[in-house]
Amino acid sequence: MEEKQNIFGCHYIVEYIGCDTEKLKWSAPVEEALLESARLSQATIKQHAVHQYEPNGVSGFIFIAESHVSVHTWPESQYVAFDVLTCGEKMDSQVIIDYMRDFFKASKTNVQKILRGF
Protein backbone atom coordinates (compact mmCIF):
# COMPACT_ATOMS: atom_id res chain seq x y z
CA MET A 1 0.00 0.00 0.00
CA GLU A 2 1.31 3.42 -0.94
CA GLU A 3 1.82 5.90 1.89
CA LYS A 4 0.30 9.30 1.34
CA GLN A 5 2.87 12.11 1.33
CA ASN A 6 2.09 15.48 2.80
CA ILE A 7 4.68 17.97 1.59
CA PHE A 8 4.14 21.55 2.78
CA GLY A 9 7.29 23.24 1.70
CA CYS A 10 10.82 23.15 0.49
CA HIS A 11 13.67 24.21 2.77
CA TYR A 12 16.93 25.40 1.20
CA ILE A 13 19.84 25.25 3.67
CA VAL A 14 22.57 27.45 2.23
CA GLU A 15 26.23 27.94 3.22
CA TYR A 16 27.97 30.99 1.75
CA ILE A 17 31.73 30.48 2.02
CA GLY A 18 34.66 32.81 1.36
CA CYS A 19 32.51 35.94 1.52
CA ASP A 20 33.63 39.57 1.62
CA THR A 21 34.05 40.30 5.36
CA GLU A 22 32.86 43.90 4.95
CA LYS A 23 29.51 42.71 3.58
CA LEU A 24 28.91 40.59 6.69
CA LYS A 25 29.41 43.21 9.39
CA TRP A 26 26.47 45.64 9.40
CA SER A 27 22.75 45.07 9.55
CA ALA A 28 21.49 47.93 7.35
CA PRO A 29 22.97 46.81 4.01
CA VAL A 30 22.18 43.14 4.76
CA GLU A 31 18.57 44.10 5.54
CA GLU A 32 18.28 46.06 2.31
CA ALA A 33 19.72 43.19 0.25
CA LEU A 34 17.44 40.62 1.93
CA LEU A 35 14.33 42.68 1.19
CA GLU A 36 15.39 43.35 -2.38
CA SER A 37 16.11 39.65 -3.00
CA ALA A 38 12.68 38.71 -1.62
CA ARG A 39 10.95 41.29 -3.81
CA LEU A 40 12.78 40.04 -6.91
CA SER A 41 11.78 36.44 -6.11
CA GLN A 42 8.07 37.45 -6.13
CA ALA A 43 7.76 36.56 -2.43
CA THR A 44 5.09 38.39 -0.43
CA ILE A 45 6.89 40.15 2.44
CA LYS A 46 4.88 40.21 5.67
CA GLN A 47 7.31 41.34 8.37
CA HIS A 48 11.04 41.43 8.97
CA ALA A 49 13.70 42.05 11.60
CA VAL A 50 17.47 42.34 11.77
CA HIS A 51 19.78 42.16 14.74
CA GLN A 52 23.21 43.81 14.90
CA TYR A 53 25.79 41.88 16.91
CA GLU A 54 28.73 43.58 18.64
CA PRO A 55 31.40 44.31 17.52
CA ASN A 56 29.93 43.20 14.19
CA GLY A 57 27.85 40.44 12.61
CA VAL A 58 24.21 40.28 11.61
CA SER A 59 21.15 38.09 12.05
CA GLY A 60 18.18 38.77 9.82
CA PHE A 61 14.78 37.29 9.20
CA ILE A 62 11.89 37.89 6.82
CA PHE A 63 8.44 36.41 7.23
CA ILE A 64 7.04 35.93 3.78
CA ALA A 65 3.58 34.62 2.95
CA GLU A 66 5.47 31.60 1.61
CA SER A 67 7.28 31.06 5.00
CA HIS A 68 10.71 32.62 5.75
CA VAL A 69 14.22 33.69 4.85
CA SER A 70 16.92 33.83 7.55
CA VAL A 71 20.55 34.89 7.64
CA HIS A 72 23.39 34.75 10.21
CA THR A 73 26.83 36.13 9.37
CA TRP A 74 30.28 35.29 10.78
CA PRO A 75 32.43 38.15 9.42
CA GLU A 76 35.70 36.87 10.91
CA SER A 77 35.19 33.53 9.14
CA GLN A 78 33.81 34.99 5.90
CA TYR A 79 30.88 32.61 6.40
CA VAL A 80 27.09 33.03 6.25
CA ALA A 81 24.45 30.50 7.35
CA PHE A 82 21.34 31.15 5.24
CA ASP A 83 18.03 29.43 4.71
CA VAL A 84 14.87 29.84 2.67
CA LEU A 85 11.71 27.94 3.55
CA THR A 86 8.96 28.19 0.94
CA CYS A 87 5.59 26.69 0.34
CA GLY A 88 3.74 27.18 -2.92
CA GLU A 89 5.02 27.61 -6.43
CA LYS A 90 4.69 31.35 -6.97
CA MET A 91 8.05 32.57 -5.73
CA ASP A 92 11.48 31.61 -7.02
CA SER A 93 13.83 30.76 -4.12
CA GLN A 94 16.79 30.49 -6.47
CA VAL A 95 16.52 34.22 -7.16
CA ILE A 96 17.04 34.93 -3.44
CA ILE A 97 19.93 32.47 -3.13
CA ASP A 98 21.72 33.90 -6.20
CA TYR A 99 21.09 37.52 -5.20
CA MET A 100 22.51 37.04 -1.70
CA ARG A 101 25.48 35.04 -3.07
CA ASP A 102 26.35 38.05 -5.23
CA PHE A 103 25.73 40.50 -2.38
CA PHE A 104 28.04 38.61 0.03
CA LYS A 105 30.54 37.97 -2.81
CA ALA A 106 30.68 34.30 -1.80
CA SER A 107 33.42 32.33 -3.53
CA LYS A 108 31.56 29.08 -2.84
CA THR A 109 27.89 28.29 -2.17
CA ASN A 110 26.57 24.96 -0.86
CA VAL A 111 22.83 24.32 -1.02
CA GLN A 112 20.89 21.44 0.53
CA LYS A 113 17.22 21.05 -0.38
CA ILE A 114 14.97 19.43 2.22
CA LEU A 115 11.29 18.64 1.66
CA ARG A 116 9.20 19.67 4.66
CA GLY A 117 6.23 17.67 5.80
CA PHE A 118 5.61 14.01 6.45
27, 67, 68, 93: which is the annotated catalytic residue? 67
Q: How far is CA 101 from CA 72, 76, 81, 97, 110, in A?
A: 13, 17, 11, 6, 10
First-residue to last-residue Cα distance in the chain: 16
List beta partners, residue 60. 50, 71
- Residue 26 within binding range of a copy of itself, rule CB under 8 A: no
| Shortest Å, Cβ 101 to a copy of itself | 14
The residue type at 9? G
User: Which position among 32, 46, 94, 102 is part of the footprint of a copy of itself (CB under 8 A)?
Assistant: 46
| Shortest Å, Cβ 32 to a copy of itself | 18
Chain residues 50-79 in contact with a copy of itself, contact rule CB under 8 A: 51, 59, 61, 63, 67-68, 70, 72, 74, 77, 79
CA dist., res. 91 & res. 108, Å (int): 24
59 assigned to active site: no
Task: Answer yes or no: are the C-beta atoms of 38 and 96 closer than 8 Å.
Answer: yes
Residues interacting with a copy of itself, by CB under 8 A?
A: 6, 8-9, 11, 13, 15, 17, 46-47, 49, 51, 59, 61, 63, 67-68, 70, 72, 74, 77, 79, 81, 83, 85, 108, 110, 112, 114, 116-118
